[in-house]
Amino acid sequence: MAQTNRRRTSRRTIYTTLRRMVLTLELPPGAALSENELAASLGVSRTPVRESLILLAQEGLVQVFPKIGSFVSRVDPAQVADAQFLREAVELASLDDLPAELDAGLVAELRENLERQRRAELGIEEFFALDEAFHQGLLRLSGHGSAWTTVAAAKGHLDRARRLGLHETAPPVFTDQHGEILDAVLAGDTASARAAMRTHLRAVFHDIESIRAHSPELFATDSTSVPVRRNVVVWE
């Protein structure tokens, strides 16, 4: 029993690690995946790596081509759009469900989050984490914080597109949009908050088109085509 539990823990740890590497673009879209190399770098056997790649393939984040190999999936604009649809529906609905008296502690957290977003030395991953916390905080403000788990589980392709977008649109632009949303919420202006949120969440579509213009190899066009190794862009 103990050995079985350790194996499950190992697989979960490897899966979580590999998923993070895919979402943060450490393993970029189209990258070839070697079970041997991944196992060696992570200090584990091939079995948990293989099992983790299967789970990631079920999420659409990895593609396995028999007799060819495994690759990180290219960003699929259709899946981005689906995740964006879900996220927008949840977040806009939460703005309609805000209580008349907002939780002062949560408001203070959101204000502090915004201040941290404005730090000049902030890196992309630091900003991304604050961005996630800000949106989750708004859901908590409406009493629906647990809905974030469902949203987060569905937005793997969307999160990669958003991270790519941060190379096109500087974080301060999104921070200003966050400020506009929060100001409208605190003023009790739901209509303005919804409009600002909708514009903010849909910015990813503009970024995708901009990125595709210079790096089309990062995006899926045919689910059966094998990624070309030489065209993979590494994001630093």
164-203 pLDDT tens trace: 999 889 999 999 999 999 999 999 999 999 999 999 999 9
pLDDT of residue 121: 86
3-state class of 61 per DSSP? coil
In a domain, residue 227? The reply is no
Same domain for 158 and 103: yes
pLDDT of residue 4: 53
The length of the chain, given as a count of residues? 236
Q: How many domains does the chain have?
A: 2
In a domain, residue 228? The reply is no
Last residue of a domain, one of 44, 73, 102: 73
What percentage of the chain carries pLDDT values higher than 70? 90
What percentage of the chain carries pLDDT values higher than 90? 82
Q: What is the CATH number of the domain that holds 129?
A: 1.20.120.530
Question: Scanning the structure block, which residue is given the tokens 């991304």?
Answer: 128
Same domain for 142 and 51: no
More confident residue, 3 or 158: 158
Last residue of a domain, one of 24, 40, 73: 73
Token pair of 62 as six digits = 């990895």
pLDDT of residue 234: 43
Q: Which amino acid is at 122?
A: L
pTM (two decimals): 0.86
Whole-number Å distance between alpha carbons of 93 and 138: 11
pLDDT of residue 12: 86
pLDDT of residue 235: 44
The answer to whether the beta carbons of residues 169 and 207 sit under 8 Å apart is: yes
pLDDT of residue 182: 98
Helices within the chain (DSSP H only): 2-23, 35-42, 46-58, 77-96, 104-117, 124-141, 147-153, 156-165, 171-186, 190-214
From residue 6, give the alpha-carbon distance in Å to each of 13, 14, 51.
Answer: 10, 12, 14
From residue 217, give the alpha-carbon distance in Å to each of 72, 114, 137.
Answer: 12, 34, 35
Q: Which amino acid is at 40?
A: A
**Which of 197, 191, 183 lies closest to 102, judged by CA?**
183
Token pair of 189 as six digits = 């202006």
| 207-223 confidence digits (pLDDT tens) | 999 999 999 999 988 65
pLDDT of residue 67: 84
Same domain for 208 and 161: yes
Q: Which amino acid is at 12?
A: R
Same domain for 88 and 201: yes
- The residue segments making up the domain with residue 108 are 77-214
- Rounded mean pLDDT of 49-66? 93
**Which of 192, 186, 201, 69 lies closest to 135, judged by CA?**
201
pLDDT of residue 223: 56
Same domain for 97 and 190: yes
pLDDT at 97 over 70: yes
pLDDT at 236 over 50: no
Number of neighbouring beta carbons within 10 Å of residue 144 = 15
Q: What is the CATH number of the domain that holds 69?
A: 1.10.10.10
Last residue of a domain, one of 45, 73, 101: 73
Same domain for 139 and 46: no
pLDDT of residue 66: 84
